[in-house]
Structure 1
Amino acid sequence: MTYSCLIVDDEPMARKLMEQYVAKVPYLQLVQSCASPLLAIEVLQQHAVDILFLDINMPEITGLTLLKILRKKPLVVLTTAYSEYALEGYELDVADYLLKPITFERFLKSVEKVTARLHGVSVPAVPPAEAREEGLPYVFVKDGTKLVKVMMNDILYIEGLKDYVGITTKSKKIVTLQTMKALEAELPEHRFIRIHNSYIVAYDAIAAIERDKVQIGDVFLPVSESYRRAFKEFVEKHQVRG
């Protein structure tokens, strides 16, 4: 099965790179590569497009404005050098958010996420890990019908609750409808570690460590046998850094 793509970016080099990436993926078919949102509107009126790779900062109208005026939208992957647009983009139900410079590996992960969604598999509406590693000190998670901003420094631990995830922070607990695996993939690996099938902890929040449990505040969380070795190596690595 092939998926049709449209690239919209006013920077020639950025368009060329995305064209090369699309050409490397056998199941992607490029419909057109546009230098302006106005041209993209014409293309979308004439062709059915599955995936739209869309830059944000462009002359005439921005990529976000284009999203707002389109009546029928393909799945959208935002491509930009500015991470501060993450929340607004996800409020417009974009499928993914690629922060420039975009590597082929990250592009491919995005394509896999989008094609999964085209097949009806849900994906979490959170900004990508790359954006946070570049300077975003927070993550957005769904809480009912809204996105809630959770500061990384406030997270104490995360608990799996069947189809939900509980995020315990310094001031409150948030329950969000997504999987532990999906949320874990969005957390910086050097700050968070999984200690149990049901628990992920923030290293900076750990008050004490015993063989089979860790203490965070007044709460004791179990370290399961299957995660014990990885947790030990994680702690040792941080001790070396410190």
Structure 2
Amino acid sequence: MKCLVLDDEPLALELLQKYIEKVEGLQLIKTCRNVMDALPYLQNRQADLLFLDIQMPKITGIELLKSLTFRPKIILTTAYRDYAIEAFDLDVTDYLLKPISFERFLQAVSKVMGQKLNAPFTEPDYQLLHSFNESYIYLREEREMVKVYLKDIIYIESLRDYVRVKITTGQIITYNKISYLEQKLPENKFIRVHRSFIIALEKVSTFTPATVRINDFSIPIGRNYKNTTMKALNRFNILSS
């Protein structure tokens, strides 16, 4: 889906460009800071989806919408709530209030694409097979999708909006929430021990009620995760012995 972004704020353009690049199936064809730059792309029907700011110099986004004979799908991006009713009367797909989070961006895009988008790490990128050793996920690192076997994951560390996935051959840093990966990984193989850490149970060298050690790396056990972590570690050790 070819995307055009029209906004007079450079930071807004940069943010939307970054978001678009993270979603497979979206292609950014142009960012524009004024209507005149965008018109050739709109008149020639080159854009499938337009991210459109409302408050711009000379011609507002609403005025532009009313003037178009051919309209791509429209997602409005604005700092103002006041135009919502008028905007939806013009049949826009969604109305995003700045600052725009990535999660809210995905919700809007999913309406256009007709499918549920959860993150760069999505259901089709996850293959849990009958054999754990053959199961894998695809994680997006920059612009590449990297195949990661679950058996190679040592631990996952939250870095706010990103996660570090430590594997036997190195590490992958991907844009995602640790809670999302927690839901997807098999509970009998992985356990969340801290708000910032998920560990592979079979990779644990030693543990105490306060920490788990994997090789030479010590990981804290959060107070809210202590009981479930101890039960999981003891159960895993019994089953493994």
Instruction: Report the TM-score when normalising by structure 2.
Output: 0.49
Larger radius of gyration: 2
